[in-house]
Structures are given as structure tokens and as C-alpha cells.
């Protein structure tokens, strides 16, 4: 008999690593299969059933995977982030869109085979938004799920389309077939703001200036911030990001009014992030060298995201506001890490 498992794609990425650490502590959970281009970080290997090095676009590899395991839940985290994607837009499209279609199709096949739906948890991003100019950004404040969906990055376009794909596979797949699918994909998606982890440093994102600034200060190296001091987007800590994924995964389906939910924790301009950094690392050297392209992307993202629907439908509540994030999570954990 095949083993029932949780599949995590992009398992070696920042969110993947955080998720594995957290899931490993859940009693009576299903075993985890970690899929990534690279084998999992050695420290995480004892927490998973298997670490598979492979490409989500490799159909043979996915076939082998489903021959061996019954997949109950998929956390589909594999993606090329926003800055990377601008350098390789077509590659980003393949990974972020085709990769997602392939995983949704795998989920549908699994659901049909086991006569039970498959949960598909998907991280989308603030990058799906595209504010036309700074005046509008400051005027509108926190945006709801439905507004300003005109992304200016390939990654944002990919994530927005992937949200629609998830909704389609969940609610409309094979809608003209004589017998519609009985069991399908239970697609649930959170739109994340920038995420800050104390344990890992991201690469290839545009919100990376915040974690880069903090980690540089903790390591005692100078940092040139690639956005203006007044650049503002919302952020959350990695523990809150994982809390959101797990919270939505276990939410009561009957309460979910939508497939896609904004989640947010705190909004701070780069200069206020820098103030917090200097408060805890008084020797931090932070200068501003804005990159026009990356600044333009940040300016197109909202200053805040309205996550009322998530509060209402599945009791979403972040644990850390801006002050608490630094005082209770980032600073102590980073200090310990670089000690």
C-alpha cells in the first residue's frame, strides 16, 4: 500500500524550510516528502520521510512520486521570485505557471484515484497588485483582494494567473464532461506580504531589502539598501507566514468564502525598519542606493493589504507586529544564529 504523505515543493526555499521545521513538531502528522531542485538542508533531513532532488516540470519524476506515495496535501511553494523572474521571464513562466498547472493536475489525478479531495495550499504574493503611481498607493492604503490587480512583474502576473488556475481546478475543472469530477482539488491560497526570517536570507525577491538589512547588521557588515528610505510595503515574520499556511490548511471548509486570502502583519517604510535595526545593532551601517528598477516594483506594490476576510473566515491573527517582530523574534533568533 502506498504511504499517505504531505508533499512540499520548493522545500529547500525559505518558506519550505520554515514549514518543515514547524510541521515536524505537529503530533500525529503525515510524513513529509520534500521536493526541490537541491536535496534538503542536512539539518532538516531527519524531519522528513524523503528528500527528492528534482524539477517540478519533470513529468517522469512526478509519475514516480505518485506511484510510490498517496499525496494527501500539497504545499506548492516552488517558484522563481520577482527580481529573478525579471531577468528570466520565460523561465519564470515555465516554473511559476506550467509548474503550478502540473501540480494541480497531479492533485486532481490523486483525488480521483483515492476518491478523496487533495488539499492544495498555495502561497501567492503582494506582487499580484500593481498600483498605477505613488499618489494612488498612499491614498488607497490597505487594498482588498479584488482591487488593483494589474501586476507589473512577470512573477506578479504568474502568481495572479496561478490563483485563477487554482480556483478553476477547484470549481470548474471538466465542467462540460458528462460526469463531473467527484473528488478534486481543495485549493487554498494566501497572498503574502514581504516575509522576514531570522534563520535564512532570501534571494531573488524584491522585498529582500528588509531581511538583508537585518542580517547584515547582525553579521556586522555594511548594507546598501536598494530602495528609497520612504519605500513602504507590508511585512510579516516567517513564523507568522507559516502560521498563515497551516491555519488556512486546517480551516473549516464550510467557513471559507473565497479561494484567495490576503494576510498581513505590519507596514514599515525602509527608514523605520532601519531605525529598528539600529536600535538593536547600534553599529549598523545602512546607506541608501536605490535601484530604479527594483524601486519601481516596490512602488507598484500596496503600502498595506486588507486581511479582514482571513480574520473573519479562519481566525487569522499574526503573532508579531513591527515592534514585537524585532524584539521577540528577529533580534534574539538572529543574535543566537550569528553568535
In the complex, the residues that contact ligand AKB under the rule CB under 6 A are: 81-82, 125-127, 155, 192, 194, 205-207
| Nearer Cβ to ligand AKB (118/143) | 143
CB of 135 to ligand AKB, least distance (A): 22
| Nearer Cβ to ligand AKB (82/100) | 82
Alpha carbon distances (Å) from 25 to 18, 22, 90, 123: 12, 6, 38, 21
CB of 153 to ligand AKB, least distance (A): 8
CB of 2 to ligand AKB, least distance (A): 34
CB of 208 to ligand AKB, least distance (A): 6
Nearest to 165 by CA among 108, 91, 113, 87: 108
| Nearer Cβ to ligand AKB (82/276) | 82
How does strand 232-237 pair with strand 266-269?
antiparallel
Ranked by CB distance to ligand AKB, the top (closest) residue is 205
CB of 80 to ligand AKB, least distance (A): 9
| Nearer Cβ to ligand AKB (54/204) | 204
Q: What is the DSSP string of 24-82?
A: TTSTTPPPEEEEESSPPPGGGGGGSSEEEE--TT-HHHHHHHHHHEEEEEEEE-----H
| Nearer Cβ to ligand AKB (117/125) | 125
C-alpha angle 277/279/282, rounded to 5°? 85
| Nearer Cβ to ligand AKB (127/273) | 127
Q: What is the DSSP string of 255-276?
A: G---SEEE---EEEEHHHHHHH
Which residues contact residue 235 at a Cβ distance below 8 angstroms, ignoring those fewer than 6 apart? Answer: 193, 194, 195, 196, 207, 210, 265, 266, 267, 268, 322, 325
Coil vs helix vs strand at 286: strand
CB of 279 to ligand AKB, least distance (A): 24
Amino acid at each position: 500500500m502506498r504511504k499517505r504523505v504531505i508533499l512540499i515543493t520548493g522545500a529547500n526555499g525559505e518558506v519550505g524550510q520554515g514549514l518543515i521545521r514547524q510541521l515536524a513538531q505537529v503530533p500525529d502528522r503525515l510524513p513529509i516528502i520534500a521536493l526541490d531542485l537541491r536535496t534538503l538542508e542536512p539539518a532538516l533531513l531527519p524531519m522528513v520521510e524523503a528528500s527528492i532532488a528534482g524539477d517540478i516540470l519533470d513529468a517522469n519524476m512526478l509519475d514516480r512520486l505518485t506511484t510510490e506515495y498517496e499525496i494527501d496535501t500539497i504545499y506548492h511553494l516552488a517558484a522563481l521570485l520577482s527580481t529573478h523572474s525579471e531577468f528570466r521571464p520565460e523561465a519564470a513562466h515555465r516554473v511559476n505557471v506550467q509548474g503550478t498547472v502540473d501540480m494541480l493536475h497531479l492533485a486532481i489525478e490523486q483525488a480521483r484515484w483515492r476518491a478523496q479531495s487533495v488539499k492544495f495550499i498555495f502561497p501567492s504574493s503582494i506582487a499580484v497588485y500593481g498600483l498605477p503611481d505613488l499618489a494612488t498607493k498612499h491614498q488607497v492604503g490597505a487594498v482588498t483582494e479584488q482591487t488593483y490587480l494589474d501586476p507589473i512583474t512577470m512573477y506578479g502576473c504568474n502568481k495572479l494567473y496561478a490563483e485563477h488556475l487554482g480556483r478553476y481546478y477547484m470549481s470548474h475543472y471538466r465542467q462540460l464532461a458528462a460526469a463531473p469530477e467527484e473528488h478534486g482539488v481543495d485549493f487554498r491560497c494566501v497572498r503574502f506580504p514581504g516575509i522576514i526570517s531570522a534563520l535564512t536570507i532570501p534571494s531573488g525577491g524584491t522585498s529582500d531589502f528588509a531581511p538583508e538589512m537585518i542580517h547584515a547588521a547582525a553579521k556586522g557588515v555594511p548594507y546598501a539598501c536598494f530602495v528609497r528610505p520612504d519605500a513602504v510595503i507590508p511585512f510579516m515574520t516567517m513564523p507568522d507566514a507559516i502560521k498563515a499556511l497551516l491555519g488556512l490548511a486546517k480551516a473549516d471548509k464550510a467557513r471559507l468564502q473565497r479561494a484567495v486570502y490576503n494576510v498581513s502583519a505590519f507596514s514599515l517604510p525602509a527608514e523605520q525598519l532601519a531605525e529598528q535595526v539600529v536600535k538593536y545593532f547600534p553599529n549598523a551601517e545602512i546607506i541608501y542606493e536605490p535601484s530604479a528598477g527594483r524601486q519601481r516594483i516596490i512602488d507598484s506594490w500596496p503600502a498595506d493589504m486588507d486581511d479582514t476576510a482571513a480574520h473573519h473566515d479562519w481566525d487569522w491573527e499574526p503573532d508579531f507586529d513591527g515592534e514585537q517582530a524585532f524584539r521577540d523574534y528577529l533580534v534574539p533568533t538572529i543574535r543566537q544564529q550569528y553568535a
